Amino acid sequence: MKIQKTRRASARYLLPGIAFAIVALVGLWLPLQAHAQSTVRPPENATTSIAPPGPALQGGVQGTQSDAEIWHDIRLGETGNVSIPNRSAGQMIQSQGEDWRLYRNGATHDYLGYAMLATIVLLALFFAIRGRIKVEHGLSGVKIKRFSTLERMSHWLMALSFITLGISGLNITFGRSLVLPLVGKDVFGPMSGFLKATHNYTAFAFMLGLALAFVLWIVHNIPDRTDLNWVAKGGGLFSKSSHPPAKKFNAGQKVIFWGVMVLGLSLSVSGWTLLFPFEHSLFTDTFVLFGNMGIDVPAILGLPEPPYSAIQEQQFNSAWHGIIAVVMICLILAHIYIGTIGMQGAFDAMGSGEVDLNWAKEHHSLWVEEVMAKKTDGAAAAPAE
Range of the domain at 129: 99-147+221-381
pLDDT tens, position by position, 129-161: 988 999 888 888 999 999 999 999 999 999 999
| Amino acid 177: pLDDT | 87
- The answer to whether residue 313 sits within a structural domain is yes
Q: Is the pLDDT of residue 124 over 90?
A: yes
| Amino acid 99: pLDDT | 73
Mean pLDDT rounded to a whole number for the chain: 80
- The answer to whether residue 43 sits within a structural domain is no
Backbone phi and psi for residue 56, each to the nearest 5 degrees, phi listed first: -70, 150
| Amino acid 77: pLDDT | 63
Longest Cα–Cα distance in the chain: 137
CA distance readout (Å), 187 to 92, 192, 195, 249: 37, 9, 12, 45
Q: What is the CA radius of gyration of the chain?
A: 33
| Amino acid 248: pLDDT | 93
Percent of the chain with pLDDT over 90: 50
- The answer to whether residue 324 sits within a structural domain is yes
Instruction: For the chain, list the strands marked E by DSSP.
Output: 143-145, 354-356
- The answer to whether residue 297 sits within a structural domain is yes
Query: How many domains is the chain partitioned into structurally?
Result: 1
User: Any idea what the CATH number is for the domain that residue 351 is in?
Assistant: 1.20.950
What are the residues whose beta carbons fall under 8 Å from the beta carbon of 290, sequence distance 6 or more? 296, 297
Q: State which amino acid sits at residue 260.
A: V
- This prediction has a pTM of 0.74
For residues 152 and 350, is the Cβ–Cβ distance under 8 A? yes
- The answer to whether residue 169 sits within a structural domain is no
- The answer to whether residue 18 sits within a structural domain is no
| 360 class by beta-carbon count within 10 Å (0-12 exposed, 13-18 middle, 19+ buried) | buried
Q: What's 84's DSSP letter? A: S
Q: What's 131's DSSP letter? A: -
Looking from the CA of 254 toward its CB, the CA atoms found within 13 Å total 20
Looking from the CA of 14 toward its CB, the CA atoms found within 13 Å total 6
What are the residues whose beta carbons fall under 8 Å from the beta carbon of 242, sequence distance 6 or more? 136, 236, 362
- The answer to whether residue 172 sits within a structural domain is no
| Amino acid 103: pLDDT | 75
Average pLDDT of the segment spanning 102-125:
88
Average pLDDT of the segment spanning 327-331:
95
Q: Is the pLDDT of residue 55 over 70?
A: no
Percent of the chain with pLDDT over 70: 76
pLDDT tens, position by position, 64-109: 556 777 776 776 666 677 777 776 667 777 666 777 777 777 777 8
Q: State which amino acid sits at residue 321.
A: H
pLDDT tens, position by position, 208-252: 999 999 999 999 999 999 999 999 888 877 776 678 889 999 999
Nearest to 48 by CA among 13, 92, 90, 18: 90
Q: Is the pLDDT of residue 58 over 70?
A: no
Q: State which amino acid sits at residue 157.
A: L
- The answer to whether residue 191 sits within a structural domain is no
